[in-house]
């Protein structure tokens, strides 16, 4: 490969879609819409200007409709995302406010649109949640296509790219991403966007390596620069040296080989050497992810995070909309089970239309079940939709952020009332629906024996359980070294919950990120956990690792682990006993550092 003498530059972004690719950069920009002039219009011309705006919206919407109609078969499951964008064109916040601004300030349509969009952006920027930032991106993308039509600028035509390249863009809308032709585009890098952005989701299902959120990629990369995209580690290397190229070519072929082996066996059951079958389920955030759950061999959905549908809009969704959404997922997954978690919002994962911006400590605030119990109408609407969907497959309900027994009782009471009213209306639902709670707050773990009497299953949310138990913010980089899943305190807490579950004959599942790392499996199995739920991509490697473990052995091994007093001690014992197995199942052991090829994560031993 030809390359220049320019210095190698490494950029760190968000690992959105795994895999490695090497190629030439191809920058795509939205020319002509950056500079927007302001001018005033007379009262007489106002209606004409509004008409001009409306017809730009119509043209942008028609173009999107055309994209929807010509979307290739493999992307049909994402039509829903494009449909969401179609609705945004007429959103009050964007459409209504732009017209209002034109009327009030008598300014041109472009200027009014620009003002409205920067206000929306500012509002969303004050919220730290990546979901919300993703939703702001949706609005910006929609507004850009209107702006292109208003200004007569040329729209980005990704479908017309003729070379095998790596796309570099400031941001790509789902409509643009869905036009990517796999034989032309090797990888994708953008300045904006994150893991839960729609663009990220589409990239994952196209299985092209993608690193988003690089901030300055479009400034630092020029057309035809040689670029390496490591979508597994979330890193991009510009002007790689010969040595780096050789290293990454090797990594690339290792990864492809690993992926081929892994996916060949993804549909085999997760059965241990001594014949114990475990359930390996998926965590999803959007209905369209069910396709990848099935492709990756998921036994069902262990955690459907329903916040997304509330966050991607500007007012509460109604029962009908929620029901349609849940029913789609339940029907596609049937007869496999779908665990639907009720709304887990907080000031951080807040709703622009319903959260209190003054909450000082949102993760300890009016979050999850606390919010729902305080807003019974919102809660009941969701419960009705979930119950109605339960008539179409196997649905389980999961309550988040439980910290007190009274919350379980109150939530169940509301569920029973909701079921009663559906019954009276003659609407079908599963009247034996299983009810579970998230164990993600230490008080719930400690009180698990009390909780167990009133529920059918526990779902241990280690993401928050670690955060709350070790008092380590899960998104604060400064303390990320203290965020330890194998800290003895966490292992003991999981043990307590697993023991309580066994003694009370209720199920215990782990649905935090901890479940998706093969390294943790000998310990989780040893603690008696037999259900795991994780991001769909991790399912094959986890099933493969389970097939090489022996539950009886892990049961003996756990007694040694429980004697350890530090995470380092735990790791040492773990590697001594299982280092070889973990290497065989996708970990590359190199100079005391184990690199997980499936996630790119590193664990020192
Ligand atoms: C958890 O806390 O582990 C969990 C699965 O929930 P979330 O990541 O949505 O907070
Ligand atoms: Mg949680």
Determine the distance separating the centroid of ligand 2 and the alpha carbon of 439, expressed in angstroms. Answer: 9
pLDDT tens digit sequence for 313-331: 667 899 999 999 999 999 9
User: May I ask the CATH architecture of the domain 271-604?
Assistant: Alpha-Beta Barrel (3.20)
- CA 173 from chain center: how many Å? 17
CA nearest ligand 1 atom 8, residue? 463
pLDDT at res. 155: 62
Q: Helix 130-151 crosses helix 43-69 at what angle (to 10 degrees)?
A: 110
Determine the distance separating the centroid of ligand 1 and the alpha carbon of 410, expressed in angstroms. Answer: 22
Phi, psi (5° rounding) for residue 71?
-65, 130
CA–CA dist 200, 194 (Å, integer): 7
Determine the distance separating the centroid of ligand 1 and the alpha carbon of 475, expressed in angstroms. Answer: 12
pLDDT at res. 352: 60
Hey, what are 236's tokens? 């991009």
pLDDT at res. 587: 53
Residue ranges of the chain assigned to CATH 3.20.20.60: 271-604
pLDDT tens digit sequence for 130-141: 666 667 778 888
Low-confidence ranges of the chain (pLDDT < 50): 1-2, 32, 347-348, 589-594, 597-605
Pocket lining: 305 vs ligand 1, CB cutoff 6 Å: yes
Torsion of CA 20, 21, 26, 30, to 10 degrees: -30
pLDDT at res. 404: 98
CB within 8 Å of 418: residues ≥ 6 apart? 380, 383, 384, 387
pLDDT at res. 589: 43
CA nearest ligand 1 atom 6, residue? 461
CA nearest ligand 1 atom 3, residue? 461
pLDDT at res. 573: 95
pLDDT at res. 210: 93
Residue ranges of the chain assigned to CATH 1.10.274.10: 43-151
CA nearest ligand 1 atom 9, residue? 305
User: May I ask the CATH architecture of the domain 3-29+157-242?
Assistant: 3-Layer(bba) Sandwich (3.50)
Q: Which atom of ligand 1 is nearest to the CA of 303?
A: 5
CA–CA dist 60, 317 (Å, integer): 25
Quick one: DSSP state of residue 107?
Answer: B
CA distances from 132 to 239, 286, 508 (A): 34, 14, 31
User: May I ask the CATH architecture of the domain 43-151?
Assistant: Orthogonal Bundle (1.10)
State the chain's mean pLDDT as an integer. 86
Q: Which of 602, 601, 600, 604 is nearest to 229 (CA)?
A: 600
Determine the distance separating the centroid of ligand 2 and the alpha carbon of 478, expressed in angstroms. Answer: 20
Cβ atoms of 281 and 300 within 8 Å: the answer is: yes
Q: Which residues carry out catalysis?
A: 198, 511
Pocket lining: 461 vs ligand 1, CB cutoff 6 Å: yes
Pocket lining: 367 vs ligand 1, CB cutoff 6 Å: no
Q: Which atom of ligand 1 is nearest to the CA of 467?
A: 2
pLDDT at res. 87: 81
């Amino acid at each position: 490969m030809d390359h220049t003498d320019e210095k190698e530059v490494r950029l760190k972004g968000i690992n959105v879609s795994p895999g490695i690719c090497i190629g030439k950069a191809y920058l795509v920009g939205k020319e002509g819409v950056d500079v927007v002039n302001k001018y005033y219009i007379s009262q007489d011309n106002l209606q004409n200007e509004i008409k001009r705006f409306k017809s730009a919206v119509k043209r942008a919407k028609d173009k999107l409709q055309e994209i929807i109609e010509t979307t290739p078969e493999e992307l049909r499951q994402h039509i829903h995302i494009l449909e969401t964008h179609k609705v945004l064109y007429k959103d009050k916040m964007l459409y209504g406010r732009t017209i209002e601004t034109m009327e009030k300030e008598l300014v041109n349509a472009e200027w009014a649109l620009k003002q409205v969009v920067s206000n929306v952006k500012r509002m969303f920027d004050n919220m730290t949640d990546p979901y919300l930032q993703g939703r702001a991106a949706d609005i910006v993308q929609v507004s850009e296509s209107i702006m292109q039509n208003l200004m007569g600028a040329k729209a980005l035509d990704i479908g017309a790219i003729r070379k095998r390249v790596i796309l570099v863009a400031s941001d790509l809308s789902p409509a643009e991403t869905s036009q990517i032709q796999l034989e032309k585009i090797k990888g994708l890098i953008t300045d904006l966007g994150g893991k839960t952005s729609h663009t990220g989701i589409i990239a994952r299902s196209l299985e092209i390596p993608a690193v988003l959120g690089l901030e300055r990629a479009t400034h630092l990369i020029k057309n035809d620069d040689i670029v390496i995209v490591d979508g597994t580690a979330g890193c991009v290397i510009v002007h790689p040296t010969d040595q780096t190229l050789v290293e990454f070519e090797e990594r690339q072929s290792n990864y492809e080989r690993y992926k081929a082996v892994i996916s060949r066996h993804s549909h085999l059951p997760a059965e241990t050497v001594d014949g114990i079958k475990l359930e390996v389920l998926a965590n999803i955030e959007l209905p369209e992810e069910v396709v990848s759950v099935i492709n990756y061999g998921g036994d069902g959905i262990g955690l459907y995070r329903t916040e997304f549908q509330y966050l991607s809009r500007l007012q509460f969704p109604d029962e009908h909309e929620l029901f349609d959404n849940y029913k789609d997922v339940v029907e596609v997954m049937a007869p496999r089970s779908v665990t639907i978690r009720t709304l887990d919002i907080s000031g951080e994962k807040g709703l622009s239309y319903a959260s209190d911006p003054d909450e000082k400590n949102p993760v300890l605030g009016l979050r999850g079940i606390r919010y729902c119990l305080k807003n019974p109408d919102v809660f009941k609407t969701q419960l009705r939709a979930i119950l109605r969907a339960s008539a179409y497959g196997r649905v389980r309900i999961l309550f988040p952020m439980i910290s007190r027994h009274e919350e379980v009782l109150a939530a169940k009471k509301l569920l029973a009332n909701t079921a009663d009213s559906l019954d009276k209306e003659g609407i079908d639902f599963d009247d034996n629906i299983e009810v579970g709670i998230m164990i993600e707050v230490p008080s719930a773990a400690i009180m698990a024996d009390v909780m167990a009497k009133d529920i059918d299953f526990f779902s241990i949310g280690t993401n928050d359980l670690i955060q709350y138990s070790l008092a380590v913010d899960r998104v604060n980089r400064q303390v990320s070294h203290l965020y330890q899943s194998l800290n003895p305190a966490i292992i003991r807490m999981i043990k307590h919950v697993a023991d309580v579950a066994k003694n009370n004959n209720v199920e215990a599942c782990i649905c935090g990120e901890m479940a998706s790392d093969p390294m943790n499996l000998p310990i989780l199995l040893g603690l008696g956990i037999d259900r795991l739920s994780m991001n769909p991509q991790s399912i094959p490697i986890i099933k493969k690792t389970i097939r090489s473990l022996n539950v009886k052995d892990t049961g003996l091994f756990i007694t040694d682990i429980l004697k350890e007093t530090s995470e380092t001690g735990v790791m040492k014992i773990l590697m001594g006993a299982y280092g070889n197995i973990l290497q065989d199942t996708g970990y590359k052991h190199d100079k005391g550092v184990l690199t997980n090829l499936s996630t790119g994560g590193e664990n020192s031993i």
